[in-house]
Amino acid sequence: MQGNYDSSSPKYFHVASILEKQQRQLYGPNSFIGKWLASKNTMELINGTLFTHGGIHPDIVDYNLSIDEVNEITRDSYYKPYYPKPEKTKAQFLNSTYTGISWYRGYFKDDLTQEDVELGLQEFNAKTVVVGHTLQSKVNRKYNGKVIGIDVKHPKDYHKNFPNSESEGLLIEGDRYYRLLHNGKKVEI
């Protein structure tokens, strides 16, 4: 939506070409999927579990924001190209490719402490955060179970054997979290 297609699969360029459009038009503010995407939040808190694509950088506590404020600020930036600017604003922090809610990879890349993780959770009254954006070998829990990584490699949608044995997801039942395996079995994590 912001015009950064560096990580896009080539198939989306092909789809756009078939439709005689540019890729940006597929997700533009006048497209069906663009309108739908622009209506979505970057954070959701459900029964104490916080869902976000990237994660919560520990410095978010410096901004004293509610979930509604985070969602409003990020939603207002969906169609604005992100380029780092010298000023340190809320929008800059929340949309940064390093600290932003949709981009943060720190749970799996940085040397965080348990306290760092707890700061972000406490800020939003969450007990756990579920994140994607950083590939994992399996759905897993880190930081005393407070961070659940769910971005696992799935087979490409053009393979004949879709889905294969590597597919899995997260199932939440009450206060219990499970890896839901390709064969329907569930393993508590």
pLDDT band at 165 (very low <50, low <70, confident <90, very high): low
Q: What are phi and psi of 142, to 5 degrees?
A: -130, 170
Whether residue 58 is contained in a domain is answered as: yes
State pTM to two decimals: 0.85
Structural domains in the chain (count): 2
pLDDT score at 96: 86
pLDDT score at 44: 97
pLDDT score at 20: 92
- Confidence check: pLDDT of 81 > 80: no
Report the chain's mean pLDDT, rounded to a whole number. 87
Report, as an integer, the average pLDDT of 23-43: 89
Of the listed ranges 9-13, 68-72, 125-129, 184-188, the one predicted with least confidence: 9-13
Supply the Cα-derived Rg of the chain in whole angstroms: 18
State the residue range of the domain holding 16: 7-39
pLDDT score at 85: 72
- In this structure, what CATH number is given to the domain that contains residue 58? 3.60.21.10
User: Between β-strands 168-173 and 43-46, what pairing exists: parallel, antiparallel or unpaired?
Assistant: unpaired
- Confidence check: pLDDT of 161 > 80: no
| Residues 13 and 48 placed together within one structural domain of the fold | no
